[in-house]
Each structure stands twice: as C-alpha cells, then as structure tokens.
C-alpha cells in the first residue's frame, strides 16, 4: 500500500490505513527495519467508520481492553484459508494468546500450524485482527509482519506476559 486515507499517530509512529464503504481494507504499522516511502493520503475515508476506529485506537493505546471484533472488514484479497485464519484470530480475546497449532485446529486444519503462520504474515488488518496474540509452541513469539518490536509492544500493552524470545 503506497496510499492511505487515514493516519493514526501512536507513540511508536503513525499507523496508516484504508477504509472502504464496507469497512477496513488495510492497516499498516511502521516498521523501521523495512522503511517504506511516506504514504500518500488521498481520497476521503468513510468518516463514520473512521471516527469509530480512531476512538477504538485511542482506547486501545491507552491500555483499555478493546474488542475490535465487531469492526467491519473489507478484505480486498486473501484466500479462503487466509480469511478463515484471520476470522479465527479475531476470536482470541484481548489479553489472551493461543498457539499457531491451536489456531490451526480451530480452522479445521490441525497439522497446518506453518500455513497459519503464513496466513497471519499476510494479515492486512494488524491489531484489528490481532495476529500478535498468536504465539509459537512453548510461548515463543514467532513472527510478526511489522516486526517483533511491535509484537512485544502490543503484547505488553495488553498485559500479556510469559512469552519467550
């Protein structure tokens, strides 16, 4: 994504996203390890959804337990399997984690933990689809599309402890 229609500033850098009339189309967290060109802000966002999402982000980054589960998504891409994984990840409550293997079982593919990890790596809705709550076996962090610093930050923000490097 090189264009966005909203920006939300966090203490760790701006989040950029794109809202269609149906819902959130994409959300990007800043990743210093993989810098991108500055986003071009264009078109008008869906103001109703935009205001709602900004309020949710304000609460979330203030440490309030926020449920993004009802916020509408508009996936522009993704396979049937990826969408099933993203939906299952949305069901992991604030402040809790599951393993890639358990999430694989939840989507009906108990031996597909690696495929689940790959699907989460393509998650276009970071935070709203909380892929940061999915850990590897033994409580290890695993990966995160915006970098492990963000994953650690989000887990700490939610009061999740006990994970391992």
Q: Could you state, in order of their start, the residue ranges of all structural domains in the chain?
A: 3-61, 80-157
Place of tokens 């995160």: 144
Dist. CA 125–CA 64, nearest whole Å: 19
Q: What angle do CA 70, 76, 81 make, to 5 degrees?
A: 80
Q: Give exposure, 18-33, as e/b (b: 16+ Cβ within 10 Å).
A: bbbeebbbbbbbbeee
Output the average pLDDT for the chain: 89
Q: What is the pLDDT of residue 120?
A: 96
Residues in the chain: 165
Dist. CA 39–CA 120, nearest whole Å: 23
Q: Would you tell me how many other CB atoms lie within 10 Å of the CB of residue 128?
A: 25
Is the pLDDT score of 2 beyond 90?
no
Q: What is the pLDDT of residue 46?
A: 66
pLDDT in tens, 87-134: 999 999 999 999 999 999 999 999 999 999 999 999 999 999 999 999
| The pair of three-digit structure tokens given for residue 165, joined into one six-digit string | 């490097």
DSSP string, 106-143: HTT-TT-HHHHHHHHHT-SBBTTB-GGGEE-GGGB---
Q: What is the pLDDT of residue 6?
A: 83
Q: What is the pLDDT of residue 35?
A: 59
Q: Residue 126 catalytic?
A: no
Better-scored residue on pLDDT, 3 or 113: 113
Kindly name the residue from 29, 88, 92, 131 that is annotated as catalytic: 131
Q: What is the pLDDT of residue 1?
A: 45
Dist. CA 123–CA 84, nearest whole Å: 11
The class that CATH gives domain 80-157 is mainly alpha
Dist. CA 8–CA 30, nearest whole Å: 11
Confidence (pTM): 0.90
């Amino acid at each position: 994504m090189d264009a966005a229609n909203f920006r939300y500033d966090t203490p760790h850098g701006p989040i950029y996203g794109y809202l269609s009339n149906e819902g959130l189309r994409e959300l990007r967290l800043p990743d210093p390890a993989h810098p991108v060109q500055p986003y071009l802000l264009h078109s008008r966002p869906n103001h109703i959804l935009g205001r709602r999402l900004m309020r949710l982000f304000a609460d979330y980054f203030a440490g309030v337990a926020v449920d993004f589960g009802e916020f509408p998504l508009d996936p522009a891409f993704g396979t049937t399997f990826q969408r099933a994984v993203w939906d299952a990840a949305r069901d992991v409550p604030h402040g809790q984690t599951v393993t890639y293997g358990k999430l694989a079982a939840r989507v009906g593919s108990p031996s597909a933990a690696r495929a689940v990890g790959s699907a989460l790596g393509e998650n276009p809705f970071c935070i709203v689809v909380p892929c940061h709550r999915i850990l590897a076996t033994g409580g290890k962090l695993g990966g995160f599309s915006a970098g492990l610093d963000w994953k650690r930050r989000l887990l700490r923000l939610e009061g999740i402890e006990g994970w391992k490097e």
